[in-house]
Structure 1
Amino acid sequence: MKTQMLSAQRPEDIAAAAGLLRNGKLVAIPTETVYGLGANGLDENAVLRIFEAKGRPQDNPLILHISEPKELESICHDIPAQAWLLAEHFWPGPLTMVLPVRDLVPKRTTAGLDTVAVRCPKTAATRELIRLAGVPIAAPSANRSGKPSTTTAAHVLHDMDGRIEAILDGGPCEVGVESTIVDLTGERPRLLRPGGVTPEELRALLGELDIDRAVLGQISNDAVVRAPGMKYKHYAPSAEVYIISGSSEAAARYIRRRFGPGDAVLCFAEELPLYDGCNPTAYGSENDVRTLSAGLFAALRDLDRPDIRTIYARCPEGGGVAYAVGNRLKKAAAFRVVDAEHEA
């Protein structure tokens, strides 16, 4: 199979991609977060092909993408008022909601659960694609399972060339980390994955928000989860990743004492002079966390090379978008964090 490159700037290409999706084919789609590996979310056979192309465990549920909020009612039931409030404020945008699912959605899409994760993406071309396809699009990130997510069409082609029918090229992703996921099926809203919509923004609307343990640490691969990205080593290059916390100077001293052949440093742009000779890669500015969000996965993919065995990574602190970036880096590092201030 030859993977076809289509342009999100051409209406005829969007229509062609919609036709492929209607016919059970796989199309990588651009969103403001990351590229998604799209299939008709109501077609079990098409959804199975997503798992096969990614090498993804089938107990990992998928997100359904819709073109406008009112479509939520066609795939979910018993939708609480909180969901419509969040949709009013954050859709289209990088927010996914977990809600009770209607029977028309296959169990393969939901990983056998009685809930489904749904979002309305910000990217206008993708919403038009969904509208033309006439079905919700199941679309996990368009990378091989466990690897860093894809934020450009070139990243997708690297991972999926010959595995999928087409890629709809919409340019680089704006947000750069996957959507925020909030579960609205319990007594209290629960954050399952941080992303472009921050915990602070959610609490401002909802008044309360629990944080799932999968956000705070590694959970068992046997655990039943309601959304993607909650278990398994995730977002990671082949190298072992270690997060080095503490001041810039303390972190640089710690890393330089241990740095050897096959090692690399992932740092903030402001810290590059501290790592001269240590193969540093900057993924954004510590003073502009949105640049870290946009640049993280591209940097991790650049460092996913056979000659690199260990990556020492610097991670932003605090809330907001920094919380999401920190979550992705900690997942990539399997939550291995070293405090350089207290290590000799």
Structure 2
Amino acid sequence: MIASPTPDAIAAAVAALQQTQLIGLPTETVYGLAADALQAEAVAKIFERKGRPADHPLIVHVADEAGAAHFAADMPAFAAALMEAFWPGPLTLIVPRRPGVADTAAAGQDTIGLRCPSHPVAQQILRACHDANPPVWGVAAPSANRFGRVSPTTAAHVAQEFGDDLLVIDGGPCDVGIESTIVDCSRGQPVLLRPGHIGAAKIAQVTGMQVLDPHTAVALLDQQEPKAPGTLTAHYAPSATVRLMAASDIAAALGVLGEQAKHIAVYARSPMENASGDVLLRRMPQSPEAVAHELFSVLRECDAQGVKLIWIEAVPSDAAWDGVRDRLQRAAASA
């Protein structure tokens, strides 16, 4: 059931969470499938509903820094600086976890991912959770889609995934459109596990520290990285096969298409001619922020149109495109 964020609907969402039920939660990144992070029975329902392996940890969403203290055993100084700079916002921090707290959400690891979303409806729900009796100190909320598939950026997308029996609070289309940046803060130096809206340069500027990539971190720090959401090689995939191509290759292929044209979609920044008239053409915006905002909706639209193959123009190599490039490469790896 999709509900507007009225006081009654928010109260119903909090009550559902208290009763170990799941809800659809809007955030500025994507919609989440949320449960009380401290109730193992509730969190187990997330894994079951998504078809997600139980050893893949979940991100816990909290209302503020005080909420994070219920889950974190320690908050390194550079992690606190990142919280101060970017919370509320699309940044997840991996920090040491308090023993015995949110074991199921953390998939048994001794670290936990924490995030404070900036979406006003998410904030209303999380603050109402704090004020409830008994309180809900944080919600585990991975993207509200089947495991490995395209993330949802509208309430309707969530309903399409899970049906009408799930309460989904409608916060409108997500502003950012791709999942949060994940920074591992558990090893003494920031390690970028998943790129997103907040880039490595901004993280380095705030912390005054070099930001490592996972492979460099394992070599330099001699420590294995914790598992983190959204870091599988194949992820974020539509039903259609995704291929990343140069604009010239797409243009050349369009010129020789025959009957198969009706099963192909193109998403490109460069102008393309649809000679057959059967190809589904979508123009990619020129800015990475605009592409991130619409990317998952475009992939879902292609599936809805019955497309079998999506040709996507490869994005620029500069750092501003890291988050989009990451999602596209993982979507294409599912082919």
Q: TM-score, normalised by structure 1?
A: 0.86
Q: Which of residues 142, 148, 151 in structure 2 aligns to 1:149?
A: 151
Distance (whole Å) between structure 2 residues aligned to residue 69 and residue 333 of structure 1:
37
Aligned pairs for 1:1-344 (under 5 A) are 4-8=1-5, 10-134=6-130, 135-162=137-164, 165-206=166-207, 207-213=209-215, 225-231=226-232, 233-245=234-246, 248-254=247-253, 256-257=255-256, 261=260, 263-268=263-268, 270-273=270-273, 277=277, 279-282=279-282, 284-286=284-286, 288-305=287-304, 307-334=306-333
| Preserved CA contact (<8 Å) 1:41 1:109 | yes
**1:342 corresponds to which residue?**
none
For 1:105 and 1:300, the matched residues in 2 are separated by: 37
Task: Tell which deviates more after alignment, 11-20 or 21-30.
Answer: 11-20
**SS of 1:326's equivalent?**
helix
Paired residues, number? 320
Structure 1 stretch displaced more, 310-319 or 93-102: 310-319
- Give the letter aligned to residue 267 of structure 1: Y
Deviation of the 1:272 alpha carbon: 4.2
Offset of residue 77 of structure 1 = 1.5
TM (normalized to structure 2)?
Answer: 0.88
- What RMSD, in angstroms, separates the aligned Cα atoms of the two structures? 2.3
| Residues 29/281 of structure 1: CA separation in 2 closer, same or farther (3 Å cut) | farther
Q: Conserved in 2, the CA contact under 8 Å of 1:316 and 1:322?
A: yes
* 1:228-271 deviation digits (Å, cap 9, x = unpaired): 011152100122211103xx334421454467616423323552
How far apart, CA to CA, are the structure 1 residues paired with 2:268 and 2:32? 27
For 1:152, the aligned partner's letter is T
Cα distance 1:249–1:138, how it changes in 2: closer, same or farther (>3 A)? same
CA distance in 1, matches of 2:275, 2:94: 43
Amino acid at match of 1:100: P
Aligned AA (1:196): H
Deviation at 1:211, TM superposition (A): 1.5
Contact 1:272/1:282 (<8 A) preserved: no
Alignment correspondent of 2:219: none
Distance 2:307 2:157 in 1: 19
Give, in angstroms, the shift of residue 292 of structure 1.
0.4
CA distance in 2, matches of 1:102, 1:259: 60
The SS at the match of 1:24 is: coil
Asked whether the equivalents of residues 252 and 274 of structure 1 are also in contact (C-alpha less than 8 Å), the reply is no
Q: Is the 8 A contact 1:293 1:321 kept in 2?
A: no
Distance 1:140 1:275 in 2: 41
The gaps in structure 2 that reach 5 residues or longer are 131-136, 217-223
Q: Is residue 270–residue 285 contact of structure 1 (8 Å, CA) maintained in 2?
A: no
> 1:277 deviation in Å?
3.0
| Residue 282 of structure 1: how far off its partner (Å) | 2.2
Give structure 1 stretches of 5+ with no counterpart. Answer: 215-222, 337-344
